[in-house]
Each structure stands twice: as structure tokens, then as C-alpha cells.
Amino acid sequence: MKRLWLSAVCAGAAMSAGLALAQDTGRPQYGAWGFDLAGQDSSTKPGDDFFRYASGTYQDKLVIPSDRSSWSPRAAAAELTEKRIHDILEEAAAKAPEAPTTVEGKVGAYYAAFMDEARVEALGAKPLAPTLDAIRAANSRVAIARLMGASNESFYDTIFGDGVSLDSKHPERNALFIGQGGLGLPDRDYYLDAKFSAQKAAYQAHAGKLLALVGWPDAEARARDVVAFETAVAKASWTKAQQRDPDKTYNAMTPVQLQQLAPGFPWSAYLAGGHLAGVKRVVVVEKSAFPKIATVYAKTPVKTLQAWMAFRAADAASPYLSKAFTDEYFDLHGKTLSGQPEQQARWKRGVHAVSGGDFLAGDRADGFGTLGWAVGQVYTARWFPPAAKAKVQAMVGDLKSAFHARIEKLDWMAPETKAAAIRKLETYRIKVGYPDKPRDYSKVAIRRDDLVGDVLSAARGDWAYNRAKLNAPVDRDEWFMTPQTNDAYNGSLNDIVFPAAILTPPIFDLNADAAINYGAAGGVIGHEFTHGFDDQGRKYDWKGTLRDWWTPADAKTFEARAARLGAQYSAFEPLPGSKVNGQLTMGENIADLGGVTLALDAYRASLHGKPAPVLDGLTGDQRVFLGWAQAWRGKLRDDALRRQVVSDPHSPRQYRVNGVMRNVDAWYEAFGVKPGDKLYVAPADRVRIW
């Protein structure tokens, strides 16, 4: 089973109490006008730590729930969505037949199968037996490669992951992308950096325990072999920062050329295993890593590869198996890697199994084996208010106009580059709430008495849907994030998507002061607009084609400014020995900076020349900045924070506030920030991009 690796750039961090959806309750969620004044720390100067000034008292009082690795208002909003989906699933499960045919019946039966804990416990590891039997029978590297090719629709893992996405050099069609894979720990650094030696040792112990649970011979010895194999793969793999470059990650070739590039791996068998034997063209992502990883594969004993496949399959299937498996899964992924003390209640894990999200904190959507789009149809029909959609669409228009104006006024960009940038901006398609076309689940068979079968049936349905896109016109209306996801994205279709679930406080509140909504929701909208023009997004033109549309001088200026911003963020150290990677987080940092500046411009324009009201002594500009800061308050456990710094392209939340503000001239004016304040940056050293 492999996670979706061809994902769009997202705006958010933590997910998923007691908040109201963006509906007309008659009053704001926070305070009298949408901001939590009681959560401020007025003893902190805005210029010393704006994150703490805005939310310090809230931060001091915030306690992370024991079944979470992080917590925030965004997480609480997502948990409310989770509870509402729970109600939907409980109702559907009560009425679902053994083998339903309707969308509601299928989500209900799937949930019922997950919640039938007695049956799951009685079955133990038996549902995984066909998978393990196939691995035992795969007694050659060719046979194992064939199983790896089926990873999109099975519990098998693979050292090379594939997925269907828009062809960035030919955006009128889709392409099969193939990238590096094979690592069970969050990042290659966990294998190669001594500071993660405890986590690596725990991972090896975890492998041994799972292999023992499935009855694999010599479990502890094989676990050592497995981790040695993954370590060799990690050494050959690209870093996450390297993976961000769209020029270097686009390498189109035929399957024959792929075999020549990486001859140590049986590519024909791999493609056949994924029902892709007829593919004529693939796009290789980490090109220089492929021959190295293939060589590791060719030199690894078949017995080690089989043990690795068995371990990774057991790990992937553990959330759907008996308590011995779920506890072991949580012990590594929750406690050890994320610092989460307690496992979530089974009903919460059931919601994630059917709807999407992981089995720990639910903070990242994982579409494998779910009925996420089916749940989205039912969820939005009940909970998404039309008034919220209309208000957000109006705000999007304001942000787009603000961006247009900023591009025209840029003093460092040539007219021809400006014209191309504006043309790209005008092609953006804005999608709010939910997709207009529902996903067809008629061929996905679901039963109340077969949880593992339901997972695999849903996965097969998703992979068939994605494979079909290789031979079909590009669907510009397609979504890549379910409506119940508390996040947003800027996608490869030059589209910006705001799912229904993100339109909640603290991002959007129908009854809040406009400045707060512009600072939070407007900042997120501006963030997504800017992603199309960040250090990687700028490389795609108005058609979505990967090509250079910049003058050399403009490109050089942009790169220099981006490098200065990266240097600022690389100096941040949220924990001793754990510094932010300014190159890995570059795109998100540029988008945050652009989002805040666009939000302020859009708010000012929305006043139509009238003065902004002053509320509780705070000006309109001040409230825009406070709205952005309020959107990012929250906490992570130290282990989760270390994991984020290594593997997440988003900066830790305090720097999504402080790192931005210190580069915004209007923030200095709004709060009287002066030389000597800790966040002060001299005007000549402030980074101004968009």
C-alpha cells in the first residue's frame, strides 16, 4: 500500500471541540468580532514575537489531547467535521444491508465492518493471508516486482511508486509518473542521521514484531535485513528539497529507456502488475536515484525482499486487523514518531478508514482504500451552507484583483514577464466547497462482513479510476482533495480549491469582522494564488506547461530574493538541533508572504475608499494581521515537531506568523515596530517578492 505521493501543494498544517461550521449562527466564534482578545499576551511586544503577542495566553493554556500529536483551532474544526461524519456513518450503518448498492449504503456497510471489533479480533491476521501467500510464492525478483506494481490497489509496498497526474510538459493530457519509494520511516534522514538512531532502532523492533505476528520465520533477523535494505534505499534516494524542483523531476521516456536507465529492476513486470503493460511513455521523477535504487534491489537477496514485502504489507494492513496489530502500529507511528500518548477511539479510526485521513491524529488526508468522495457527497449535502460559498467566492475575486494590481506595480519585473504572469493569473479556476460531478462507486463492492475486502475493493476502484485518465481528456473540473478535508490547494490544472471543511473558524467565520476574515481566509486564498508563482510554481505557464516564460534578468532577481527569504527561515530553530530547512519550505514561505500581503491589499480595496472601523482600539490593518496569526495558533509535541522540520514543506506555525510579518512593511507601520525589536529587519533587508 502506498501513500499518494503526487499531491498538490497544500496550505494547511494540522487537522481535526465544538466549533461551528461557517454558518449563520448570528455571532462570531471568537470574541465579539471574530478575534480572541483573551488569548492575547499583551505583555509581549508585537515586534519581539508577534505569534505570542497575538495568541500567547491561548498557547500557555492549550493542552494537546492525549490521542493527538498536535492541537489547534484548525484541529478542533476538523474534529467537528469528524464528529459530523461519524453521525452520518452511524445512521448509514444502521440501515445498510449486507451488500449495499447505494452510496449511502456502501459508506454505512464499510463503517459497520470497521466497527465490528469482535469479528476483526476473531479473524486476527487471517485477512492478510492471501497477501502473504502471494509474497511467499514470489520467489524471484521479477515476481516481486510484479507485486510491487500492484501497490496502488493492495497492501504491497514498492521501492518505486507510480501515479497518474497532469503531464506538465503537455497539459492537454495525463501521464504516468514514477518516483522513488520504499521507506517506512518519515524521511531518509531517519535512516542516515544519528539523531534519529532511537527511532530507527524502534522501527527495526517494530518490523520484527509485525513479522512475528504474521508468522514469518526468523522475524528478528529478517527485521535487521529489512532495515538494512531500507537504509541502502535511503542512501540512494533524493532529499525532499531536491524533489521540489519540477525541471529536474520531469524526465519523460519510454519503458524501454526506463529499463536502460535502471537495468537492475524488472520494469516490464512492475508495469504489468499495475495493469500498465500498454503504457508507451512514463515520466521519471528522481532520475539519478533510479539506477542506484535499482542496483540495491538487484543485489538484495530474494528472501530479504520477501521479508520486506511481508513487513510492509503487515504495517499497511495493521489498522484493519486485530488489536495486537493496531496497538503495534500505534506504538511506532503514534508514540515513537509523533509523540502521541494515546491511540484514538475506534470510532474515530473508523471515520478515517471510510472518509480519509490517517489513523493517528487525522492530520493528513490519505485516500488509500477509502470511500472519501462518497462521504463527501453525503457530508456537503447536509452541512455546507450556500451563504459561506458565496462570501468566499466574493473574497476570491477581491484577492485576484489585488494580485493583478500588485503584478502591474512590481518594480523589478519586465513588461513581458508581467504580461505572462497576469495571463496565468487570469486562467485560474476557483473551486469552492465540493466538485460538481460525483464520483461513480457503482463498481466498488462493499460488504458489512469483510473489512479488509472493503479496503482493497475501494483501492481497486480508485486505481481503475486513475488508470482510466491515461486514455481520456484532461478533466479540468476534477478535484484532488475531498470536501471534508480541512485544507486547500493550488493544483496542476491552474486551479485553486477550497473544500467545504476549511471554511470554518479560525479560517473563515460568516459572522466575523471583515478584516479578520481577510487576514485568515483571505491570507489562505492569497497563499494559494501565490503558489502558482512561488519558486517552483512560477515555472509553469498559463496553460500549466512546464516551461521558462521569464526574462533571464527577472528570473535572476526572483531567485536572489527567494534565496534571501530561505536564509531567514534557515536561521529559525524551533528545538535545539532542529533547524528549519529554508529550501524545503521555500514554496510555502513564499506563499505565506504573498498571502498576507494580498490579503491586506484586498481588505483595503474592499473598503471602497471608506475608513476602516476601529474595534477595541485595533485598526483594520492590525486586525488583518491578527486574523492571520489567529489562524496558525496551536501546538505540536516535540517528536511531531522534529518530524515536521525534517519532512514537511511547511514551516512550524510560529514562523508562518513571525517569519512573514518581519518582511511586511505595513506590519511595521501598524504596530510601531522599531529597530531593537527582535523581529525587526531593516527596510533594505526585507524580502519583497509578490
pLDDT at 358: 65
**CA-based nearest residue to 16, from 72, 78, 107, 67:** 78
Query: Could you tell me if residue 129 is inside a domain?
Result: no
Q: What CA–CA distance (Å, rounded) separates 58 from 680? A: 24
Q: Is the pLDDT of residue 479 over 90?
A: yes
* Number of structural domains in the chain: 2
Residue 468 falls inside a structural domain: yes
The enclosing domain of 546 has a CATH number of 3.40.390.10
Are the C-beta atoms of residues 95 and 79 closer than 8 Å to each other? no
Domain stops at, among 301, 323, 338: 301
Assess whether pLDDT exceeds 60 at residue 133: yes
At residue 124 the predicted structure's pLDDT band, cuts being 50, 70 and 90, is very high
**Cα–Cα distance for residue pair 661/181, rounded to 1 Å:** 37
Q: Residues 28, 169: one domain? A: no
Using a cut of 0.85, tell me whether the model's pTM lies above it.
yes
Asked if residue 358 belongs to a domain, the reply is no
Residue 122, domain member (yes or no): no
Considering 265, 282, 301, which residue would you say is the last residue of a domain? 301
What are the pLDDT digits (tens) for 565-598?
A: 999 999 999 999 999 999 999 999 999 999 999 9
- Give 3-state DSSP helix, strand, coil % of the chain, rounded to 5: 55, 5, 40
Give the position of cell 492571520: 628
520 and 606 together in one domain: yes
Q: What is the CATH number of the domain that holds 260?
A: 1.10.1380.10
Cα separation of the two ends of the chain: 40
Report pLDDT for 388.
75
Say what the pLDDT of residue 247 is.
94
674 and 541 in one domain? yes
Tell me if 308 is assigned to some domain.
no
Q: 281 and 390, same structural domain? A: no
**Mean pLDDT of the chain, nearest integer:** 93
User: Between β-strands 429-433 and 495-499, what pairing exists: parallel, antiparallel or unpaired?
Assistant: parallel
297 shares its domain with 419: no
Q: Is residue 415 part of a domain?
A: yes
Q: Look up residue 664 and give its three cell numbers.
A: 511586511
What pLDDT does 362 receive?
A: 40
CB 332 within 8 A of CB 643: no
Is residue 94 assigned to a domain?
Answer: no
Q: Helices 219-236 and 197-213, interaxial angle, to 10°?
A: 130
| 5, pLDDT greater than 50 | no
How confident is the model over 373-397, as a mean pLDDT? 86
Is there a single domain that holds both residue 410 and residue 483?
Answer: yes
Name the one residue in this structure whose C-alpha cell is 533524493. Answer: 238
Per-residue pLDDT band for 360 (boundaries 50, 70, 90) equals low
Query: Are 531 and 678 in a shared domain?
Result: yes
Q: Are residues 51 and 149 in the same domain?
A: no
Question: Average pLDDT of 163-191?
Answer: 96
Query: Are 183 and 251 found together in one domain?
Result: yes
- CB of 256 within 8 A of CB of 135? no
**51 and 189: one domain?**
no
CA-based radius of gyration for the chain:
25
* Residues 519, 660 share a domain: yes
Q: Which domain holds residue 547?
A: 24-82+373-685
Say yes or no to pLDDT of 15 above 80: no
Tell me: pLDDT of 9 over 70. Answer: no
Residue 213: inside a domain, yes or no? yes
Say if residues 525 and 498 touch (Cβ distance below 8 Å).
yes
Q: Which among 248, 273, 301 is the end of a domain?
A: 301
| Distance of alpha carbon 92 from alpha carbon 112, whole angstroms | 9
Are residues 664 and 521 located together in one domain of the fold?
yes
The model's pLDDT over 212-239, given as tens digits with 9 standing for 90+, comes to 999 999 999 999 999 999 999 999 999 9
Output the nine-digit C-alpha cell for 371: 470511500
